[in-house]
Amino acid sequence: MVLDVSERPLPPLTQIPADLRSLADYARRAADHFTVEAWRHLEEGSGEGQTLRANRAAFARRGLLPRAMADLRGGETALDLFGRRHAAPLMLAPLAYQRLAHPDGELAVVRAATALDTGMIVSTLASFTLEEIAEAGRSFAGELGKDRAPLWFQLYLQPDRRHSLDLVRRAEAAGYEAIVLTIDAAIKLSGMTLPPGVSAANLAGMPMPRHTATPGGRILLGTPLADAAPRWEDLAWLREATRLPILVKGMVLGEDARRAVDLGADGLIVSNHGGRVLDGLPSALDMIEDVAAAVDGRIPLLVDGGFRSGTDMVKALALGARSVLIGRPQMHALAVAGMPGVAHAIHLLRTELEVTMAGLGCPRLADITRERVITLSGA
């Protein structure tokens, strides 16, 4: 039951109950661990929520076709992206303000990612600095006697390129291994008021872009906020500014994907921003094949938007994705049980992925081909 607005959210659990057996279980519990305003901000989509619902409905429209009595010996889920090994085709998507879910926020998430050999993409709007997050991952990896999991930095371009370049240079110095340029969220509605102690730590000291009224009655178009939205020339500039791999997040159309590759993008992330920006977009799953055909294997293709299970992941891999990003479930697990909760959620997903692969007769990621997915009649 969701708490009344006058009640305080429940503190994180200190032990993981036996009835938490899926990401859906975490989602059901999570509401009681957020303030009502924070929960609404996390869960709601833009507009009427068409895209939010479409992300989930797309998975229900597709079924799986297993091969009988396949030889499962020697199977594994590991893959390489940009020279680093990932234990599974799974990464943690960039999420802003993770201290809304737990006091340790991104520090807890990076420790969980490190423990489970899972890559993490850190948001420009993280509630700890990118340096603090990198150091937390590095220190925890040392305690465990292993390498830190891959860390990528998600970049929201700032109105002044000097500030964008400063963020890139800080990410390079802190050991981040790729830049994820998000292009689809420069303009979005938000009614969330951040509570005391939660802020965009990476942007401290930088002017925050705000929408203000302008002479002539302009609402948005023709204002500085709209004028600062990402353009193709910004991608070209970023390509010249860093040697790190650049992934462009927010791709929808194949023709745009081709142009991004031509301008030097090293990877693409098919995304509708979890249904949080432009309502009416098709599901992320429905967009994969068009973008995959456009890039024709020249660069890795990743995807996010509504993934909640290992079977969801397999469907995306079969349609052409190399890896899947998990967004909101991070916050659910973080709020419910902190770092152990996030680690447990990752473990659940990886277990479901391997069970699904075994059931399909696909012991290796390369075996998950288009032929393993079918569109269900009447769906």
- Say how many Å lie between the first and final Cα of the chain, rounded: 31
Side chain identity at 188, as an amino acid letter?
K
Residues 6+ apart with CB under 8 A from 236: 263, 264
Tokens 């031509």 label which residue? 262
Cβ neighbors of 143 (< 8 A, separation 6 or more) are none
Nearest Cα to 117, choosing from 157, 154, 77?
77
Element (H, E) at 325: strand 323-326
Backbone region of residue 378 per phi and psi (left: phi > 0; alpha: psi in -120 to 50; beta: other values): left
For residue 273, indicate whether it is catalytic: yes
**Max Cα separation, the chain?**
71
List Cβ neighbours of 362 (8 Å cut-off, separation of 6 or more): 67, 70, 314, 368, 372
Q: Residues 264, 236: contact at Cβ < 8 Å?
A: yes
Q: Which residue among the candidates 41, 273, 332, 344 is catalytic per the annotation?
A: 273
Residue linked to tokens 């924070």: 38
Q: Which of 283, 352, 347 is nearest to 319 (CA)?
A: 283
CA distance 127 to 274: 20
Which two structure tokens, joined as six digits, stand for 65? 């076709």
SS3 at position 171 = helix
Tracing tokens 């860390």 back to the chain, one arrives at 151
For residues 94 and 123, the answer to whether their CB atoms sit within 8 Å is yes
Which one-letter DSSP state was computed for residue 326? E
What are residue 18's phi and psi, to 5 degrees?
-65, -20
Tokens coding 75: 């199977």
**Catalytic machinery residues:** 273
